[in-house]
Amino acid sequence: MATFFNEYFAVTANQVDDYGAFNVSIINDLPLFIDPFLLFNSPKPEYQQLHADILKYMMFLRDKIIAGRVTDDLVKSWFMFPEVKQNWLGFSLHGNGGSGLGKDFAEALRANLQGLFADFGKETITTGSHIEKVCLVRSGVGRDMISDFTANLLKDFICRYTEQFSIAHIDAKFRRKLPVNKAIFNYETESWERRTYDLPWGGGDFVLLTPKDMLTRDENWINRTDMIRDFESIPVAIPDAELRGQVFNYFQNILGKPRRPPTQKDKEAAAIRTIMSFPQLVDYYIKMKENSGDEARDISSEKVIVTKQVFETQVRQLQWELAQHTTFYKTGKSTYEEAHQRLAFLKDVIENKGGHRIFYHDGKAIQRESDLQIMFRFVWFGSPSDVGTEANDGRGPVDYKIARGAKDKTLIEMKLAKNTALERNLRNQLPIYQAASDATNGIKVIIYFSASEKIKVDAILKKLDLTKHKDIVLIDARRDNKPSGSKA
């Protein structure tokens, strides 16, 4: 059952790891992306050059905008890109598909470049220029767009990086020489060109590897959330006492003297207005981030290690447990029977055979339902049914839709017991989804990590008259009531 790159292309996990690449899944995107700051702050000259190449293209776009040279046709050519889905990294909870960078991104980037990048390459406050600047002040360009844009601008490097590993380690029967669109930008012809690479091929597409040391998770090192949340530390870094005083005064005047202490939301709103009035604060924020650049490498490295541990090492262990001790991967006459039988096996392995360990890292339980969904996507892989994640059939997404043709469908929702909306979700959500998908069956799986969470869930189920309902599956993932590993 091939779930990860090394399994699919008959190489060892150590070979991928020793090469410096992340061993991606070929089932589902993993929540990692390239952070441009890790290129800027890298000790590797090659990475620094990649960052310089990104800035060169940004300045090219800015200059064409200022000169009034950007026609509608050129917007499509210069600003719009498909998602580099072949790297299997990103925010998709089902497969590796994404919307890419379309008109909304192009329009936002054009507007931001015209104002924010007027001094690009000639900064006096920061040490260097940073692509992330375009998503710090104005809305419309988020972290996912910066990630997609960066991956596209690095496509030639990533293809060559993968090609080198592919030729050295992957059998020719698993490779193809392929033309890749928009790989290189030709500044003489001012157009994108394709290049041909020898790449791993499987599942109807090529697959790309990405170096671990340019990846992070959650947020870029330079990001809008940090800038706004930690706004009050920015003016302190301004050496100009007069400007510093003006900024603090403006910020305090916006907050005013309310009857109650200002909330975090009040402070964030005031911070945004202050930054819009004093745009040089963006550069001072970036300067603070530059000064702590070594911390960025350490934090990102740890996040990548945790991602590997949670989504590869621990998932493999659970897959092995299910394959060795159950018929999890062989069961089911209908999607409803399959879902219930698989969930019963999963529940048993988690509660009685040590499978609960998949949900923990450094003693802390999983915090996000999106991570939970990705994990179970990997575990569920190998079903004779079509397993869709976050299926949206008109009234909102559901975690899984298990289908065999148009008439046999079962919906499954995976929820953490700590979810504050659990009661409302149990009351309303699943019946709505069943009606929208024409699914005849729906199952709710609730995972809890403590006795207090179990008490909470039991109270909700009693209130809603759902106690011991056959389609409500509770999974006990506590650590304090499990046998030791040697006895499991």
For residues 412 and 390, what is the distance between their CA atoms, to the nearest angstrom? 10
CA gyration radius for the chain?
25
- Residue 488, in any domain of the structure: no
- Residue 81, in any domain of the structure: yes
| Domain termination site, one of 238, 270, 291 | 291
Is residue 381 located within the same domain as residue 440? yes
Q: Are 411 and 403 contacting, i.e. CB atoms less than 8 angstroms apart?
A: no
Q: What is the pLDDT of residue 454?
A: 92
List 176's β-bridge partners, or say none: 199
- Residue 481, in any domain of the structure: no
- Residue 483, in any domain of the structure: no
Q: What is the pLDDT of residue 391?
A: 54
- Residue 29, in any domain of the structure: yes
Q: Are 166 and 16 contacting, i.e. CB atoms less than 8 angstroms apart?
A: no
Residue-wise pLDDT tens for the chain (488 aa)?
678 899 999 999 999 999 999 999 888 888 898 999 999 999 999 999 999 999 999 889 988 988 888 888 888 889 888 888 899 887 654 555 555 677 778 887 887 777 666 677 778 889 888 888 877 766 656 677 788 889 999 999 999 999 999 999 999 999 999 999 999 999 999 999 999 999 999 888 999 999 999 999 878 899 888 898 889 899 888 998 999 999 989 998 888 766 678 888 888 889 988 988 898 898 999 999 999 998 999 999 998 988 888 888 888 888 888 888 787 777 667 888 888 888 888 888 888 888 888 888 777 888 777 787 777 777 776 666 667 655 555 545 567 777 777 778 888 888 899 988 889 888 876 666 566 666 677 888 999 999 999 999 999 999 888 888 888 899 999 988 876 544 44
- Residue 273, in any domain of the structure: yes
Environment class of residue 425 by beta-carbon count within 10 Å: exposed (0-12), middle (13-18) or buried (19+)?
middle
Residue 240 domain boundaries:
224-291
Is residue 323 located within the same domain as residue 417? yes
Helix axes 264-277, 280-291, angle to 10 degrees: 110
Q: What is the pLDDT of residue 392?
A: 54
For residues 469 and 466, what is the distance between their CA atoms, to the nearest angstrom? 5
CA distances from 456 to 328, 370, 394 (A): 30, 22, 31
Q: What is the pLDDT of residue 82?
A: 85
For residues 413 and 473, what is the distance between their CA atoms, to the nearest angstrom? 10
| Domain termination site, one of 291, 316, 350 | 291
List 444's β-bridge partners, or say none: 413, 472
Three-state DSSP at 442 gives: strand
DSSP at 312: I
Q: What is the pLDDT of residue 389?
A: 59
Q: What is the pLDDT of residue 322?
A: 81
For residues 66 and 193, what is the distance between their CA atoms, to the nearest angstrom? 24
Is residue 386 located within the same domain as residue 422? yes
Provide φ and ψ at 47, rounded to 5°.
-70, -40
Three-state DSSP at 252 gives: helix
Is residue 235 located within the same domain as residue 160? no
Q: What is the pLDDT of residue 178?
A: 95
The pTM of this model reads 0.77
Q: What is the pLDDT of residue 410?
A: 86
User: What is the distance of C-alpha 338 from the center of its chain?
Assistant: 30
Is residue 195 located within the same domain as residue 241? no
Is residue 464 located within the same domain as residue 318? yes
Is residue 453 located within the same domain as residue 327? yes
Q: What is the pLDDT of residue 395?
A: 47
Is residue 44 located within the same domain as residue 127? yes
Is residue 115 located within the same domain as residue 174? yes
Is residue 44 located within the same domain as residue 177? yes
Is residue 79 located within the same domain as residue 105? yes
For residues 401 and 422, what is the distance between their CA atoms, to the nearest angstrom? 20
Question: Which among 292, 179, 178 has a CA at the least distance from the CA of 226?
Answer: 292
For residues 378 and 430, what is the distance between their CA atoms, to the nearest angstrom? 23
Q: What is the pLDDT of residue 91?
A: 60
- Residue 487, in any domain of the structure: no
CA dihedral 193, 197, 199, 204 (to 10 degrees): 50
Is residue 232 located within the same domain as residue 211? no
Both tokens of residue 328?
């999890």
Q: What is the pLDDT of residue 486?
A: 44
Total domains, the chain: 3
- Residue 482, in any domain of the structure: no
CA distances from 265 to 223, 260, 270 (A): 18, 13, 9
Q: What is the pLDDT of residue 381?
A: 67
| Domain termination site, one of 243, 268, 291 | 291
